[in-house]
Amino acid sequence: MCMVSGCAKAQNMDDKKVLIVYLSRTNNTKAIAEIIHQQAGGKLVALELQSPYPANYQETVAQVAKENETGYLPPLKTKVENIEQYDIIFVGFPTWGMQLPPPMKSFLYQYNLAGKTIIPFNTNAGYGIGSTFQTVRSLCPKSKVLEGFTMKGGIERDGQLLVIKGDNLIKAQAEVKKWLAKLPLNISNNGR
Ligand SMILES: Cc1cc2nc3c(=O)[nH]c(=O)nc-3n(C[C@H](O)[C@H](O)[C@H](O)COP(=O)(O)O)c2cc1C
Please tell me if the CB atom of residue 150 comes closer than 6 angstroms to any atom of ligand 1.
no
Please tell me if the CB atom of residue 127 comes closer than 6 angstroms to any atom of ligand 1.
yes
Nearest CA to ligand 1 atom 3: 96
**In the predicted structure, residue 175 carries a pLDDT above the cut 50:** yes
Please tell me if the CB atom of residue 159 comes closer than 6 angstroms to any atom of ligand 1.
no
pLDDT of 192 reads 46
Q: Which of 47, 64, 66, 96 for mutating ligand 1's site (highest number of atoms within 8 Å of CB)?
A: 96
Tell me: the pLDDT tens digits for 19-52?
Answer: 999 999 999 999 999 999 999 999 999 999 999 9
Mean of pLDDT values over 2-8: 39
Question: CB burial class (10 A; 0-12, 13-18, 19+) of residue 147?
Answer: exposed
Please tell me if the CB atom of residue 61 comes closer than 6 angstroms to any atom of ligand 1.
yes
pTM of the model: 0.92
The residue among 169, 187, 186 whose CA lies nearest residue 32 is: 169
Query: How many CB atoms are closer than 10 A to CB 16?
Result: 16
pLDDT band, very low/low/confident/very high, at 12 (cuts 50, 70, 90)? very low
Nearest CA to ligand 1 atom 28: 96
pLDDT of 14 reads 53
Helices 28-40 and 167-182 meet at what angle, rounded to 10? 50
**Percent of the chain at pLDDT exceeding 70:** 90
Tell me: the pLDDT tens digits for 63-104?
Answer: 999 999 999 999 999 999 999 999 999 999 999 999 999 999
pLDDT of 186 reads 72
